[in-house]
Structure formats: structure tokens, C-alpha cells
């Protein structure tokens, strides 16, 4: 798998990241092990998790697999600290105390002495940004963290944080059906030398085409826990995009999944889409995108059918 520099840093990562959000809940240890081995065998290095996934069980599972299956130095482990409020003495969220406690918890569950990429899961307006960023800086200076990033930041939030501390990545939802980040976040990331790690690059599953004629019983769209999550992208606009993706896939002799993933992977500023899978078969389908570069005409057609509206001030002066 091709490697890319993560932002304006010396860190090189695979141009696809393995997402593990379902590990420890929907995905058991045996299946997680199979996915990790398949990903590494394909040349993947970047594995993404978070302290909130399965209430910490995801990190524990990943930590146990690293010890047994994959040499630690062969992976770039990325995790996130959630900004969820609590009633504890540090108030939770992105306070210095809460973040450093969260970091120690992640290190313990992962069974490692350092995290390669530690990311703030969300902006916290209740804590001064200087305090939040001081936790990132301490984490790096202490050796517990190698690089830092953010997740789900708006453009102005990303630019403000990047002007005050060294960030190498920003995780954002980005796909053919969700291009809103192109208005402000993508330009801010490119300007500040920050690499984009798109989550939900398959439009929460919609871009695979599985919902074209209904809702499969074994899909997330049929799950009470995830139906609303998927429904956000089941729109008339999305349906037109899915048809265009399917047509392109037919012409290239591949799957809609591969086309959608290759499109976002090669967008300006993008380093590695974060791809999750319920089973190794799904992951193998995503890994097939490594073999494809979309022809210019197909990229242009997909750009056109999925285009979003730009206005003032993004397109000023005209």
C-alpha cells in the first residue's frame, strides 16, 4: 500500500486507515484479529481507534492483538480523547486534567508506552483553548505521544488551534455525499499543512449501493442503533450520486465501494480515509481500492454530480 506524509510532518502512513469503531461491540476478537492481519498484510500501517469506542473495550482489544499478532513498531496507532462532560473534579471534556487522565487510560488499555497520533475528538467551547492545547503539548514533551491532531473541528476552530500548536491531522466526515468540509476545513488544513483523515468515506455505507432498492436486513440501516446515522445520507441527492458511482464502477469493472473510496482518497489535502468493516470480507473489498486510480473523466463526472454550493465568502471576489 502506498505511503503518504501526514500533513507537514515526518510521519509516513498508509493511504488507507483501518477504523475499529465496531471492535469490542459488533466485532469480536477473532474477527478483529483477522481484519488486522489482512490490513497489515496489504501494507496498511495506520490504525484508528478512540477511548469512547465500546467504552474502552476497542482499545483493550487492539492492545491485545498488537501484543500477539503485529510488531508494535509496524503500526501507527491513532486514538482520540472524547470531550464528553462529566461530574468529576476535572469536569471532563477538553480540560487539561480530563485529557491527561484520558491519555493515561488509553495507554493502559492499549498496553503501550506511547501513542503515535493522539487526537481531540471534538471542540469544547467550555474550556479555554490554551488549556486544551497545553495538554497536547505536555503529552508530546513527556514522550507519551508522538504527534497530535483534532477531529470534527470547524474551519475556524482548526485554523485557530493550528496557529497555536503543532497539529498534523484533522479527522472529518468527507465523502461524495458529504462535501461540506470543502468550504472551510479543507482550505484551512491545506494552508496549515494538516493532513485530512476522512471518516465515513463511504457515506455511512450509502455509497456502496446496498440501499439502492431497500434496506438489507443485515445492514446498519436496519439496526435501531444505526438507522438514524445512515438515514442522514439517504436523500434524493445521494441517490443520484450512488447511481453515478454505480455506473462508473460498471465501466471500470469494479465495485461502487472502490470507486467512492478512490475518489475521496485522492482529493486535495486527504492523506488516508478511515475505513471500518464488520468483517474481513468487507475490509478486503475496501483494500481493492489500492489498485485503482480513477480516470480524469470519471472524477470530473463524480465531482459534478456531487457538487455543493459555494458562495460568500468562500468564493469572493467573484
Question: In angstroms, what CA-CA distances link 218 with 203, 221, 278?
Answer: 17, 8, 11
> What is the DSSP pairing of strand 46-48 with strand 274-275?
unpaired
Chain-centroid distance, C-alpha 65? 21
**DSSP summary character for residue 305:** H
Active site residue 153: no
Instruction: Please give the Cα distance from 168 to 116 (Å, whole number).
Output: 11
Residue given cell 440501499 in the structure block: 211
Residue given cell 495506520 in the structure block: 46
Cell numbers describing residue 74:
509496524
Indicate which residue of 53, 153, 174, 211 is catalytic: 53
Instruction: Write down the number of H helices and E strands in the chain.
Output: 11, 10
Instruction: Please give the Cα distance from 276 to 287 (Å, whole number).
Output: 11
Chain-centroid distance, C-alpha 78? 10
Torsion angle of alpha carbons 254, 257, 260, 264, nearest 10°?
A: -110
Question: In angstroms, what CA-CA distances link 236 with 51, 107, 206, 207, 314?
Answer: 35, 44, 12, 13, 26
Residue 133 in 3-state DSSP? Answer: helix
> What is the DSSP pairing of strand 46-48 with strand 3-5?
unpaired
**DSSP summary character for residue 117:** E
Instruction: Please give the Cα distance from 12 to 141 (Å, whole number).
Output: 21
Which residues have a catalytic role annotated? Answer: 53
Amino acid at each position: 500500500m502506498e505511503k503518504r506524509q501526514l500533513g507537514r510532518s515526518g510521519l509516513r502512513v498508509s493511504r488507507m486507515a483501518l477504523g475499529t469503531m465496531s471492535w469490542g461491540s459488533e466485532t469480536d476478537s477473532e474477527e478483529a484479529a483477522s481484519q488486522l492481519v489482512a490490513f497489515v498484510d496489504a501494507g496498511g500501517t495506520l490504525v484508528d481507534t478512540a477511548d469512547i469506542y465500546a467504552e474502552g473495550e476497542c482499545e483493550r482489544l487492539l492492545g491485545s492483538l498488537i501484543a500477539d499478532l503485529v510488531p508494535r513498531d509496524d503500526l501507527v496507532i491513532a486514538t482520540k480523547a472524547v470531550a464528553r462532560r462529566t461530574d468529576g473534579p476535572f469536569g471532563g471534556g477538553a480540560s487539561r486534567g480530563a485529557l491527561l487522565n484520558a491519555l493515561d487510560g488509553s495507554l493502559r488499555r492499549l498496553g503501550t508506552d506511547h501513542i503515535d497520533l493522539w487526537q481531540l475528538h471534538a471542540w469544547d467551547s467550555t474550556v479555554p483553548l490554551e488549556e486544551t492545547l497545553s495538554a497536547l503539548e505536555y503529552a508530546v514533551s513527556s514522550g507519551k505521544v508522538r504527534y497530535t491532531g483534532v477531529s470534527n473541528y470547524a474551519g475556524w476552530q482548526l485554523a485557530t488551534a493550528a496557529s497555536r500548536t503543532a497539529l498534523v491531522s484533522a479527522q472529518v466526515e468527507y465523502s461524495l455525499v458529504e462535501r461540506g468540509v470543502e468550504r472551510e476545513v479543507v482550505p484551512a488544513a491545506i494552508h496549515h499543512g494538516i493532513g485530512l483523515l476522512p471518516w465515513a468515506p463511504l457515506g455511512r455505507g450509502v455509497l456502496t449501493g446496498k440501499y439502492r432498492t431497500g434496506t438489507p436486513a443485515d445492514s446498519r440501516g436496519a439496526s435501531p442503533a444505526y438507522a438514524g446515522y445512515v438515514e442522514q445520507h439517504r436523500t434524493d441527492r445521494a441517490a443520484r450520486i450512488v447511481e453515478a458511482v454505480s455506473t462508473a464502477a460498471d465501466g471500470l469493472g469494479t465495485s461502487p465501494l472502490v470507486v467512492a473510496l478512490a475518489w475521496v482518497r485522492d482529493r486535495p489535502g486527504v492523506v488516508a480515509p478511515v475505513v471500518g468493516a464488520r468483517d474481513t470480507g468487507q475490509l478486503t473489498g475496501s483494500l481493492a481500492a489500492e489498485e485503482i486510480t480513477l480516470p480524469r473523466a470519471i472524477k470530473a463526472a463524480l465531482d459534478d454530480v456531487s457538487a455543493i454550493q459555494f458562495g460568500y465568502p468562500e468564493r469572493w471576489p467573484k
